[in-house]
Amino acid sequence: MRVGIIGVGMTKFGELWEESYRDLVAEAGSKAISDAGIDGKNVDAGYVGSMSPGLFIGQEHVGSLVADYAGLIGIAATRVEAACASGGLALRQAYLSIKSGVNDIVVAGGVEKMTDVTVGQATVALAGAGDQEWEAFHGATFPSIYALMAQLHMREYGTTEEQLGMVAVKNHHNGAMNPNAQFQYEITLADVMKSSPVSTPLKLLDCSPISDGAAVVILASEKTCKKYTDNPIWVTG
């Protein structure tokens, strides 16, 4: 049995001061349900990927919160977390629940509200995705850990700072074409190279920002997909 995606919804990403965690979930979720053309009463379960809402917005147990606010009453709602892969893990769990035959239509989403705290508080929250005893306690923030990885890659493969910088150039190029992107403008390699140093060899424009936003997909079994669309996106890996 194949599993397909029949609906998607996404908010804008950025420093969304006027939007709450609930607002973001509701916007992305309602768009996904509308795109799929389903009734919320047909949803069997939901998986919410959210890295650290307890530290960012003081809210735990967001699976139930999201289900309640989205009007998905009575479904099995589960929060999952895997740092930057939290949304991807929600998709994986939704896929497995359908593939196993337990569920038929499942909502999977990722949501973060990261900009309502200070930079220091955000750093502490993000450090929770690392090893508190062996990394965070010794001052190893994620930019510094990634910088060590970059240095190792440069040493082993001859990678240059300019080559790393081209990743940021490419990402900004894509963002400039995406109305939901946090940064919708182009940058040059020269811009990257002269941006402020963060942790050698990484500079400001090499590093990702914190952001607010949400994305939701609706997954369904192969039989159910055919009821709603002639062209589902089949999950193949």
> What are the catalytic residues?
84
| Residue 160: count of CB within 10 angstroms of its CB | 11
Please tell me the distance from the alpha carbon of residue 229 to that of residue 29, in angstroms, as a whole number: 18
Backbone phi, then psi, for 8, in 5-degree steps? -140, 150
Would you mind telling me the total number of residues written for the chain in this entry? Answer: 237
Computed on alpha carbons and rounded to an integer, the radius of gyration of the chain in Å comes to: 20
Please tell me the distance from the alpha carbon of residue 224 to that of residue 237, in angstroms, as a whole number: 20
Specify the pairing of strand 197-199 against strand 202-203.
antiparallel
For residues 8 and 35, the answer to whether their CB atoms sit within 8 Å is: yes
Q: What is the per-residue burial (b if ≥16 Cβ within 10 Å, else e) of 77-107?
A: bbbbbeeebbbebbbbbbbebbeeeebbbbb
DSSP letter assigned to residue 139: T
